[in-house]
Structure 1
Amino acid sequence: MKAPPEIPERLRALIGQGTDAIETPVLVVDLDAANRNQQRMTEFAAKHRLRLRPHAKMHKSAEFGRLQLQAGAAGLCVQTVGEAEALAAGGINDLFITNQVVSVAKLRRVAALAHQLKARGGQLAIAVDSFEGVERLAQAMQLTNAVIDVFVEVDIGQGRCGVAPGEAALQLARLIARRSASLRFAGLQAYHGGAQHLRSVAERRAAITAAAERLDDTRRLLVAGELPPAVITGAGTGTFAHEAASGLWTEIQPGSFLFMDADYLRNERDAAQPQFEPALFVKSQVISVGEGRAVCDAGHKSHAIDSGLPLVHALPGQAPLAFANGGDEHGVLTLADGGTLPALGDTVWLIPGHCDPTVNLHDHLVVVRGGVAAGRVEAVVAVDARGAW
């Protein structure tokens, strides 16, 4: 297991200073905005009587995981064994690996982590979607006396991982139940990632309505087979209100809501969901000015572009700017609607296109209170699970 990145003294020295002291390009979290986002999600889950298990693959940080647990989360989701190990090393005791693991070496790590968490009074869960995956997991768990919670992942429309709804899911649940010495059938993993960024509310609602029909057929079959799923978990930042409205899901797994990103902000606003605000920014600086353009020092090595380019966060009194591809180390800024370009040395705040892989590009998050313009550095947080597989 790799050690979390050490925090350099030059970053520690920022604590207590204003945001103007932060060198660029660097990833900055507006803690006030993140806390408001978390509170809104916590209140939504409580109102709808849903367990909240946020997806930590977004922030990859034990510190932010602890903040979410303190705010009422039941536990955290992760996507890789390495993420689970890194967060467990940071004191997180309730983790769910929402992905398929079939490597023998990785499954031994899963068994060791399950044993470790059990000794601390915690619990590890994992998703499966094949007979072979169950058998390999059961064999690895023989190395320990721990019992791991196992969720049958059902493909409810994503077309990625997941067993087919219906009879195939029932047969997989039965196999898990027969391995009860080390495996415990915990319920269904039902996540439709493809629905999260459908732009209109109507499209997202239709996708989850269709997914719920497939899921309900499977649930009914399991109940008839005397294997009722105690937990049905899934949902993301784009659709969780629709999963909640269905009455089928008992737990939701949104992740990006905490920081938000430009891609989610491009979705049509859904009045059934709380409104979340950007809390993750790349602080950049204008390093060159030319005819009709300014160039900042935040290129693709600072922010992921798989979901599009970043938005420029205009502070009060600033002209709206458009961001264009400038390569690895540069971003090209032009005026979006009149006004004046920023001058050489000015600060420009960017909202990344996709928060998850952007965080994974950085060793640390600089956390500020009081807003990005006039706030002060509260902490520097390690991205514990950066690159963790």
Structure 2
Amino acid sequence: MNYQDIDTPALLIDETVLNRNLEYMSAYAKNKNVKLRPHTKTHKMPYLAMKQRDHGATGITVAKVGEAEIMAVYGLKDIFIANQIVGKQKLERIKKLAEQINICFGVDSIHHIEEIDEVFEGADKKAQVLIEIEVGEERSGIIEEIDYKLLLNSIRASKNVELKGIFSHDGHTYKAVDKDDCYDLFMTATTRTLHFANIARDMDFDIETVSIGSTPPFMFGFDIPEGVTEIRPGTYILMDGSQSNAINSYDHSAASVLTTVISKPTDERVITDVGAKGLTAQSRSKGLTATEGFGKIKEYDGVYVYGVFDEHAIIYNRAFNQSVNIGDKVRIIPNHICPVSNLYHKAYLINNDEVVKEIDIAAQGKLQ
């Protein structure tokens, strides 16, 4: 059927643009001689994860244990949870997954090592961990070298934990002022990551993996310093308003939300049937990824969602108002695709305006 026949709100994915994005990142990783381990929290769809694997990904990244469990059910066998895992319940689930697939996860504290060591006692193989290095995002990760060395010694003393490598996330590149600033932030973060890898090597640790991530630097095609072994871009596969603003083009925007015009109360106000529950209320306010409003109307230049209620999008644009009728359907490019994917049970893959596949968002809501 034509995508215009889909009931709304609905998440759409343009197959042509999707494939172009997949091919771009695959070629980029190959050209830079690094492994590709995409972050599937962007889409939460095993179908897309398998397409990423088919386009050269050596494994995938997830954010939560529940996502890893779903991806494993669908045949993904090499998974990294780029997050600190705390709590014996979650660690027991990882221990069980480790019996079937290659799985590793993040740590940044001696507390993590002690808890993992206890849970993995008696396991067939040691827990595989990567230490997270904080590189400027001001989130989780090791900051001080002394704490890092103490953590390394804790791993050395552990019976059931094995250090596979280190990782970092330069998410603050989303707030870069321009391309040059993005490059400086990227290089500073990557240099710091490599420095910590060398500290571990100086302490006689075999660092197999040095993993870095976030989409903006890779969309710009920056060179990757020697010593980095893998990259973890997420948003690149579907893109969104903020990423499109960064590269000054919506040509890579594969995802959109289909919505119906349900009211035109004034000659400039238009109401559609998707709100915060289907679009989120997210925006970006700083740097090259800064967004206007709460989503861009795909079919109309310069038309944005002014505001959202739970179930309503509010648009103020006189020309747009005169161009659409109640009952018409338009597409909205979300500001941030990752949380939007988590709001839908399925997505519709379209090609030349025709629906070619319904894709189950199997990891939707897997937050534990």
Q: With the length of structure 1 as denominator, give the TM-score of the two structures.
A: 0.86
Counterpart of 2:67? 83
Q: Deviations over 1:91-137 (max 9, x none)?
A: 211100110011111111111111132xxxxx001110011101211
Mapped partners of 1:302, 1:363: distance in 2: 11
Residue in structure 2 matching 1:277, options 252, 276, 292: 252
Mapped partners of 1:232, 1:337: distance in 2: 51
Residue in structure 2 matching 1:131, options 110, 121, 136: 110
Counterpart of 1:234? 212
Counterpart of 1:155? 134
- Secondary structure of 2:83 counterpart: coil
Offset at residue 246 of structure 1 (A): 2.6
Offset at residue 234 of structure 1 (A): 1.6
The root-mean-square deviation of aligned C-alpha atoms, in Å, is: 2.2
Q: Please tell me whether residue 38 in structure 1 is matched to residue 22 in structure 2.
A: yes
Which runs of 5 or more structure 2 residues have no equivalent in the other structure? 285-293
Counterpart of 2:123? 144
Mapped partners of 1:60, 1:199: distance in 2: 30
Mapped partners of 2:122, 2:16: distance in 1: 45
Percent identical residues: 25
Mapped partners of 2:92, 2:275: distance in 1: 39
Distance 1:364 1:292, change over 3 A: same
Offset at residue 340 of structure 1 (A): 3.6
Distance 1:112 1:292, change over 3 A: same
Counterpart of 1:355? 337
Residue in structure 1 matching 2:166, options 188, 192, 201: 188
Distance 1:276 1:341, change over 3 A: closer
Distance 1:234 1:243, change over 3 A: farther
Offset at residue 351 of structure 1 (A): 0.3
Q: Deviations over 1:316-348 (max 9, x none)?
A: xx5642321141111122338789431121111
Offset at residue 191 of structure 1 (A): 1.3
Q: Please tell me whether residue 365 in structure 1 is matched to residue 341 in structure 2.
A: no
Counterpart of 1:310? 295
Mapped partners of 2:333, 2:17: distance in 1: 13
- Secondary structure of 1:127 counterpart: strand
Counterpart of 1:262? 241
Distance 1:167 1:269, change over 3 A: farther
Kindly provide the amino acid, as one letter, of the partner of residue 189 in structure 1: F
Q: Deviations over 1:121-177 (max 9, x none)?
A: xx0011100111012112212253133321011111122111125343233234324
Kindly provide the amino acid, as one letter, of the partner of residue 367 in structure 1: L
Residue in structure 2 matching 1:200, options 178, 203, 212: 178
Counterpart of 2:288? none
Q: Deviations over 1:19-69 (max 9, x none)?
A: 121111111111221111010000000000010000011111111111110
CA contact (8 A) 1:112 1:144 kept: no
Mapped partners of 2:172, 2:153: distance in 1: 29
CA contact (8 A) 1:231 1:250 kept: yes
- The structure whose residues are more often helix, as a share, is 2
Distance 1:326 1:212, change over 3 A: closer
Q: Please tell me whether residue 294 in structure 1 is matched to residue 270 in structure 2.
A: yes
Offset at residue 359 of structure 1 (A): 0.6
CA contact (8 A) 1:298 1:330 kept: yes
Residue in structure 1 matching 2:54, options 70, 88, 92: 70
Mapped partners of 1:129, 1:191: distance in 2: 13
Q: Please tell me whether residue 115 in structure 1 is matched to residue 99 in structure 2.
A: yes
- Secondary structure of 1:33 counterpart: helix
- Secondary structure of 2:215 counterpart: coil
Residue in structure 2 matching 1:60, options 44, 54, 71: 44
Q: Deviations over 1:173-196 (max 9, x none)?
A: 3432443x5332111111121223
- Secondary structure of 2:42 counterpart: coil
Residue in structure 2 matching 1:251, options 219, 230, 246: 230
Offset at residue 381 of structure 1 (A): 1.3
Mapped partners of 1:387, 1:376: distance in 2: 28
CA contact (8 A) 1:187 1:231 kept: yes
Offset at residue 244 of structure 1 (A): 4.1
Mapped partners of 1:346, 1:43: distance in 2: 39
Q: With the length of structure 2 as denominator, give the TM-score of the two structures.
A: 0.90
Which runs of 5 or more structure 1 residues have no equivalent in the other structure? 1-16, 118-122
Distance 1:205 1:255, change over 3 A: same
Mapped partners of 1:336, 1:188: distance in 2: 53
Mapped partners of 2:327, 2:225: distance in 1: 51
